[in-house]
A = this chain, B = another copy of it.
Amino acid sequence: MTIKQSITLADVATKAGVSKMTASRALRGTGDVSKANVELVRRAARDLGYVGNHLATSLSSQRSVLVGVVVPSLTNIVFAEVLSGIANALEGSGKQAVFGVSDYDPDTEYDVIRNMLSWRPAGLIVTGLEQSADTLKLLRNAEVPVVQIMDLDGDAVDACVGISHAEAGHTMASALLAEGRKRIAYIGCGLERDTRAAKRFRGFKNALIDEGIGLAGERIETGPSTIAVGRALTAQLLADQPDLDCIYYSNDDLAAGGLFHCLSANIDVPGTLRLAGFNGLDLVDSLPKGVATTRTPRREIGIAAARIILDVENGANPPRRVAYTPEIHMP
């Protein structure tokens, strides 16, 4: 598409009767420009409907106003909240977030990150610590700060902000054991691509094994985690093993589905059967019967990540690792 660059800074300058530089300075409020000229330029810009060209500005000034953000999914409320936190933290800084979605696919992730880099962003925020070798090389060679979010279990390219999922799984196992649960099963989806969910599962399982109890059963599927899937898998699992007293799910959506099954099947939750999810979604707080969960500080993670980028920009020396300790909620 050809851009009809109708009005440029030169047009504004001409109309105001000054040079391009004076117009530029007046519009940006930098340097010394006489009040009279500032007024003239502003009026000319407004009258002409002038909209600056960020492409030219960025190229010329060699400084970027973009912060690239790569998340695996947009239709997962968790990432939407992270983005929201990032957008908020960036507000007023003059920086703007650009989002890319990897669809949990390493090749797509590589393409998306490469594409972001070609916009010469001031920084990059990417989800997780597991990237392909090619992607890692790209990130290491990029001369921009890279913040990896959501996870702490592994090595960061530059900096990371998040929680330990292995620990989260372990902590939930302890809490369930402390509640007296003995026959504990696991239901998870998409572990092959959601490495953080897989880490939670491992931490959870190991904690049980350490206590000499072990996992009483499991149902692991590929594909997305939805309420409907959680409901179906719970029904299946309980058909096989009706004597379970606890199910840990890879996330809250599955757990909510599990609860809906129990409501229909008249199973007492949490009395007979304790359900536990992960994320601490609003949904869980409103469910008619308590489902345990681990609350994760999504907005805070987004904000902290954005701050790191801004700090680097300002020459500050931000932390290379920001660890949050998620809180267990067990109603």
Contact = CB atoms under 8 A, between A and B. Distances in A.
Contacts of A288: 260, 263-264
A117 interface: yes
Given A3-B120, A6-B143, A283 B283 contact: yes
A55 B58 contact: yes
Interface in A29-43: none
Interface stretch (A16-24, A80-88, A169-177): A80-88
Contacts of A142: 51
A322 to B, nearest CB: 20
A3 B62 contact: yes
Contacts of A117: 51
A92 to B, nearest CB: 11
A172 to B, nearest CB: 23
Interface in A74-97: 74-75, 77, 80-81, 83-84, 87, 96
Most chain B beta-carbon contacts within 10 A, residue among A99, A231, A312: A99
Contacts of A84: 74-75, 101
Contact of A1 (B63, B74, B115, B260): B63
Given A49-B138, A51-B114, A55-B120, 13 more contacts: A3-B62, A5-B62, A49-B141, A51-B142, A56-B59, A74-B80, A75-B84, A77-B80, A226-B282, A227-B282, A227-B286, A257-B286, A264-B288
18 contacts: A3-B62, A3-B64, A3-B120, A4-B141, A49-B141, A51-B117, A52-B118, A53-B120, A74-B83, A75-B77, A80-B80, A84-B101, A87-B101, A226-B282, A226-B286, A227-B283, A228-B285, A260-B287
Contacts of A80: 74-75, 77, 80
**What bracket does the count of chain A residues touching chain B fall in?**
35 or more
A228 B282 contact: yes
A265 to B, nearest CB: 10
A12 B4 CA distance: 32
Candidate in A118, A142, A231 with the most chain B CB atoms within 10 angstroms: A118
A24 B176 CA distance: 61
Interface string A117-140: 111101100000000000001101
A96 B115 contact: yes
A227 to B, nearest CB: 4
Nearest to A229: B286
A313 interface: yes
A313 B285 CA distance: 47
A229 to B, nearest CB: 9
A32 to B, nearest CB: 24
A2 interface: yes
Interface string A158-188: 0000000000000000000000000000000
Contacts of A263: 263, 288
